[in-house]
Structure 1
């Protein structure tokens, strides 16, 4: 019988969400030793979740800008993206783009999202 290979621990996570959702993910991620990355729009620039992140990236338009969120993850070296809920969390194309970029997707697989 073979021994399963344990996945490499995630060291940094970009949370593709805002407000209390992002803060809750940050708390859990930090307890697991992860660096936390926020994305934000101008209206949220002074919000607590932005201040609490280890790094924050301004989005040019909205939280629904999948290309900008993915670029933020790539630019910061995020190893994973956690979508929270709402926004891009149910976007199979985004989940697929994340995994195709070599970044871990913290959520259901693109195929599962499509079937929902």
Structure 2
């Protein structure tokens, strides 16, 4: 729900926004949804991954607007390029790290869904 009279701000890939004195980088990560984004906070070594990446694999892609190859590309190009120590905080479930998930990337590709 949008507050009446407030126009939402669109986020763009690579944009940096400031939240509570911290620089937060927007990473466009389509796959689970076309407009999906992750938020990277380098100063805290944290990635808020939403529904893009969970402990154990990528987010769901079984809907008409989602796509498994696209989410894999997003993870490979935008998330696995971050430092391995980066703590990944998904939209629900337990936390993980970039290096903890990178080890299983090829298994997700082979699985195919």
* TM-score between the two structures when normalised by the length of structure 2: 0.28
Q: Is the helix fraction higher in 1 or 2?
A: 1
Q: Is the strand fraction higher in 1 or 2?
A: 2
Higher relative contact order (CA 8 A, sep 6+): 1
